Amino acid sequence: MTDTHKTIVVTGVGVVSPYGIGLDCLQAGMLSGKSCLQRTKDDVYPGFEGTTAQIRGLGPLAGGSNSQHSRTDQLAVMATQDAMVSSGLDSSAFRDSGIVMASTLGGLTEIDAGIAKDPAAWYRRPAGLLRAASYPFAHVADAVGDHFRIQGPRCAVSVACASGAMAIALAANMLLDGAAPIFLAGGSDPLCPFTLSGFNSLQALDPNPCSPFDQNRKGVNLGEGSAVLVLETLAGAIARNADVLAVLRGWAMTNDAFHSTAPQNQGEGLADCICLSMEMAEVRRDDIGYVNAHGTGTPLNDSAEANAYETAFRGRNRPIPVSSTKSYLGHCLGAAGAIEAAITIMAVRSGTLLPTLRLSDPIESPGVDWLRGEVKRQPLPLAMSASSGFGGSNTVLVFGSARS
């Protein structure tokens, strides 16, 4: 019998992506097969030419001081607002909720070369000091909390590209510990000259739209966005007659302890993480109907990840269906795991398995069913979202249908 006080459910999902604001926009765009990856020249920063997924036409925040918010803050606040609307609760109902927000950038977008050339002049600009104060990545959780006057605990997570998923896992743990009755958990990251330059110096960027898990893959494309989940116990959701969107059945976090940027080539840390998440969810390998993979498109990540799936799902009666939704949105860094969690919830709710775009010659991996071509539609009681990051961080989330 289900213990409603120990069962974590998702009662709201907020998303800001290149498709627009809201899970419905995201679903419509992805089901259409539209990729948001486009050639970029000079509009992220002068001299950059490549492929990115941008959010255009982002308006100012309503009811807040935009001068003190970085673009990272702005995306997070907008996604949180969307999550609150999705939950059916007014923002005042979140007064005592907790916040766990991930980012790899914080307000780094607000710092430019002018601060080194003439610091005094840079700080004298309108809102120069306020914008600079948004630099710490912890400011994102504070921006959300201050905007909505939330008085519960606030936590920041920054463990590279697993950050968004880890924020959700940590919030679930805190919820079980009774730290707050409801948690807002997710991640936010914008496009930024510093990260584009960094990935370019690593020779990790594909100048064209990426092709994750293809034998001829050449690298990653960066994107931007934010996603926030409303998490509460099933008991709390029942008490307020909430619409349960999905059940967070299990989660796990591990670290490769291998290298500062490269994954362990056999994917051992991720494989362990997958197994631990299934153990917590009390499900078997054959119960998982789909994996929304980390799938960056880099040669090292995708081969290690394929090895992890072969190890973790060895013994299944059929290959595990896997796709990378970064082929639609690019890699949103600290927001990626949260956005992909939202996509996985969408998949469970609608029974849709999205293919990897531009996957023509998949990695040879007999234990994996690389999804490509058309969208598959089938009942999907359980699905998994996998995230990895520099430094060896791994987080896996297992979502179940609310009907289960």
Which structural domains are found in the chain, ordered by start?
8-239 (3.40.47.10), 252-400 (3.40.47.10)
- Token look-up 């809102």 returns 127
Q: How far apart are CA 7 and CA 11, in angstroms?
A: 12
Strand-strand pairing, 20-21 and 382-388: unpaired
What's the pLDDT at 135? 66
* 3 state DSSP class of 165: helix
Give the CA radius of gyration of the chain.
Answer: 20
Tens place of pLDDT for every residue, the chain, 404 residues? 689 999 999 999 999 999 999 999 999 999 999 999 999 876 777 778 899 999 988 877 766 555 678 899 999 999 999 999 999 999 999 999 999 999 999 877 777 766 667 777 767 776 666 666 676 778 899 999 999 999 999 999 999 999 999 999 999 999 999 999 999 999 999 999 889 988 988 899 999 999 999 999 999 999 999 999 999 999 999 999 999 999 999 999 999 999 988 899 999 999 999 999 999 999 999 999 999 999 999 999 999 999 999 999 999 999 999 999 999 999 999 999 999 999 999 999 999 999 999 999 999 999 999 999 999 999 999 999 999 999 999 999 999 999 86
Residues in the chain: 404
Of the candidates 398, 360, 350, which has an alpha carbon nearest to the alpha carbon of residue 26? Answer: 350
Q: What does the DSSP 8-state code read for residue 78?
A: H
Torsion over CA: 124, 125, 130, 134 (sign): negative
Q: Which residues contact 114 (CB under 8 A, 6 or more apart)?
A: 121, 122
Q: 55: part of which helix (H) or strand (E)?
A: none
The pLDDT assigned to 120 comes to 76
Q: Report, as residue numbers or ranges, the catalytic residues.
A: 161, 294, 331
């707050």: which residue's tokens?
180
Residue 117: what pLDDT?
A: 74
Nearest C-alpha neighbor of 209 from the set 112, 105, 331: 331
Q: For position 1, what pLDDT does the model report?
A: 61
Going by the DSSP 8-state scheme, the letter that residue 188 receives in this structure is: E
